[in-house]
Structure 1
Amino acid sequence: MVTSRKVRRRVPWGVYLVLLPTFALLAAFAYYPALNGMIHSLFEWRPGFDSPFTGLENYRTMLGDDLWWSSFRNIGIIFVWAVTLMWVFPLLAAELVMSLSSERLRFVFRTLLILPLAFPAVVNVLLWQFMYDPRDGVINSLLRAVGLDGLAGNWIGDPDTALVALMTIGFPWVASLPFLVFLSALQNVPAEIYQAAEVDGAGRLRRFWSIDLPMMLRDVKLLFVLAVISVLQYGMQAHIMTKGGPDNATQVPVLRMLDAAFVDTSWGYAATLGTVLFALTLGVSVLALVLGRKAEA
């Protein structure tokens, strides 16, 4: 019986030396802050003053923090929105681009669709903040112009519409990572498969369900994991536009952590919330790696 053995290729020491600066920067700006936050979560941390050790008291406080736990309801809604509607339009755009017969047109439309990614995210949020302005905003102005004054409203100032308004930022969400991932996956499908499907008389919809979707399954899994991590870290848009309001309608865990630190000046408790978010993000990442290896085995 012949057994195959994997041949290990020796890596020159010079490669490790080149990587040392990268690991040094990671240690200074990633690993150390995370470890430092874990340590301070066990203290009544007051920067520059005596910080008495409190053990797990901050974690017990977290268990009774209704605002902290209710914020997870909002990111749950954001997550469902992110993996449904915010994937549909990028997927449709990728399919439409790939349906073009001209390679030059594909390049032009692909460039036009991803060009907005070059603009800073903050600029995009501020633009939408102006669009939502209850008096001079573009949305209300258009509604009034067509005689739909009754539909105009204070989109980010009303608890019933504020969260949906935040999630709608960037509509139709084509200039995004999902579009790039879907387009890349479709470009990697061998042309012979499409030719065989055409010979068999498969229509556009049948081709999508039988070829495109199965070929993109691995990329969809990656996007799913990235969506979980991104939602756990969500907070920039809500911080700029609503500060978690009105009436905590747009409160998310990251904003609760920032409020604990900069509003309540409870730095130790803020470190506790940050530690929990870090643990959740790390857990999702490790789970994704484990499941990915099992799928490849």
Structure 2
Amino acid sequence: MTQVREQRDTETLVVAGSPRPAGPGGRVRRRRIGGGVYLALLPVFILLGLFQFYPALSGIWFSFWDWRPSGGSTFTGLDNYVRMLGDTVWWDSFKNLGIIFVFNVVMWVFPLLAAELLITLKHERSAFVYRTLLIIPMAFPGVVTALVWQFFYDPNNGVFNAVLEAVGLGALAQNWTGDPDTALLSLLFVGFPFIAGLPFLIIYSSLQNIPKEIFEAAALDGVGRLRRVWLFDLPLMASQVRILLFLGVVGTLQYGFTAYVLTGGGPDNATVVPILRVLNMAFQGGQWGYAAALSTTLFAITLALSCVVMFWRRRDPVDQPIDPTLEVGAVEIRSTQ
């Protein structure tokens, strides 16, 4: 009987629940995929090429032209890029973008705090309810959020000025998005307290994957919550933090919708960002070739920064060899192996 079983094992190997004939040496013979399968992917690549790759490549091509969609375009070489070097509004827009990025990264403390509090709930139903309430705002369209905050900031009938008037602080009422000194700050706080979003989901799922023994050992050793977050939680979430940085870089470089709805880049270019500069040059100024050069430069910067973040090497704790004796202060967790 044993010989029969061994013979069957050498003849067939079960892969993914279905037997496949084995070749010499017990190797599984791969089935050839018919050409029809690849042909089925052809429409997908055609659509990607038509609506994704062609616009991007054509934008690069037209960045070397004084492009006129109606006709009569002339080749200008690098003139658009030379002009870009002296465009102070364009480079100032990156300063605003840097402020937005730093502010968004600092505000990750709110989803981190929410996730840390939620992970301590022992009642599963309560955790599910709170988690759902924190995630539901993600389903709201971005334009709805922008318009709601536009109403909050309205200088005449806005909520913020009305509250200041009601508490006797009417002197602090502002034209929040119409004053160059407060416009950018007003944009930064749109969406406060910034919990409902992808950072919360990534941080919360990462905390769920941390072994409970680490939390228990830290608690027995008297490690406070804040110290535990700094010494254990954040290092163990290093790879997830890298993903958040990548998404933050790409998302910030593509930022512009909220600024377009609330300020349009004004007043006095106080809230202009690269995307708005490109749109203004193209649709308001009719300078399509120059707008193409700006968008090409923005694409190159996005690609370069994305590569830096993605290839930023840091040895994650999960990649390190596990010491059979893990010391947390005076507490030792000894391996049972």
Same fold, TM-score > 0.5, yes or no:
yes
Counterpart check, 1:116 vs 2:137? yes
Structure with the larger helix share: 1
Name the residue aligned to 1:216: 237
Residues 8 and 230 of structure 1, relative CA distance in 2, 3 Å threshold? farther
Q: Residue 17 of structure 1: CA displacement?
A: 5.2
Q: Deviation string for 1:121-172 (max 9, x for gaps)? A: 0100000000100111111111111111011110000000000000100000
Counterpart check, 1:206 vs 2:209? no
Counterpart check, 1:276 vs 2:297? yes
Counterpart check, 1:105 vs 2:90? no
Map residues 246-265 of structure 1 onto 2, 5 A cutoff: 246-265=267-286
Distance across 1 between alignment mates of 2:28 and 2:92: 51
Structure with the larger strand share: 2
Distance across 2 between alignment mates of 1:175 and 1:8: 48
Q: Residue 230 of structure 1: CA displacement?
A: 1.1
Name the residue aligned to 1:164: 185
Residues 53 and 293 of structure 1, relative CA distance in 2, 3 Å threshold? farther
Name the residue aligned to 2:13: none
- Runs of 5+ in structure 1 lacking a partner? 1-6
Match of 1:13, SS?
A: coil
Name the residue aligned to 1:66: 88
Q: Residue 244 of structure 1: CA displacement?
A: 0.7
Name the residue aligned to 1:30: 52
Name the residue aligned to 1:232: 253
Q: Residue 9 of structure 1: CA displacement?
A: 10
Q: Which has the larger radius of gyration?
A: 2
Distance across 2 between alignment mates of 1:81 and 1:174: 14
Name the residue aligned to 1:3: none
Residue 190 of structure 1, aligned match among 211, 232, 236: 211
Distance across 2 between alignment mates of 1:163 and 1:288: 26
Greater relative contact order (Cα 8 A, min sep 6): structure 1 or 2? 1
Q: Residue 217 of structure 1: CA displacement?
A: 1.5
Partner AA of 1:150 in structure 2:
A
Structure 1 stretch displaced more, 221-230 or 250-259? 221-230
Q: Residue 12 of structure 1: CA displacement?
A: 5.7
Name the residue aligned to 2:79: 57
TM-score relative to the length of structure 1:
0.91
Identity percentage of aligned residues = 57
Q: Residue 72 of structure 1: CA displacement?
A: 0.9
TM-score relative to the length of structure 2:
0.81
Partner AA of 2:219 in structure 1:
E
- Kindly indicate whether the alpha-carbon contact (under 8 Å) linking 2:103 and 2:188 is maintained by their aligned counterparts in 1: yes
Distance across 1 between alignment mates of 2:215 and 2:46: 48
Partner AA of 2:85 in structure 1:
L
- Runs of 5+ in structure 2 lacking a partner? 1-26, 321-337
Residues 17 and 112 of structure 1, relative CA distance in 2, 3 Å threshold? farther
Map residues 143-154 of structure 1 onto 2, 5 A cutoff: 143-154=164-175
Structure 1 stretch displaced more, 234-243 or 198-207? 198-207
Residues 11 and 266 of structure 1, relative CA distance in 2, 3 Å threshold? farther
Distance across 2 between alignment mates of 1:184 and 1:8: 37
Distance across 2 between alignment mates of 1:8 and 1:215: 39
Q: What is the number of residues matched between the two proteins?
A: 290
Distance across 2 between alignment mates of 1:204 and 1:32: 52
Residues 18 and 105 of structure 1, relative CA distance in 2, 3 Å threshold? farther
Name the residue aligned to 1:4: none
Distance across 2 between alignment mates of 1:260 and 1:101: 55
Distance across 2 between alignment mates of 1:20 and 1:215: 42
Q: Residue 20 of structure 1: CA displacement?
A: 4.2
Counterpart check, 1:244 vs 2:244? no
Structure 1 stretch displaced more, 120-129 or 14-23? 14-23
- Kindly indicate whether the alpha-carbon contact (under 8 Å) linking 2:180 and 2:268 is maintained by their aligned counterparts in 1: yes
- Kindly indicate whether the alpha-carbon contact (under 8 Å) linking 2:245 and 2:309 is maintained by their aligned counterparts in 1: no
Q: Residue 287 of structure 1: CA displacement?
A: 2.7
Q: Deviation string for 1:169-196 (max 9, x for gaps)? A: 0000111111111111101112222223
Match of 1:246, SS?
A: coil
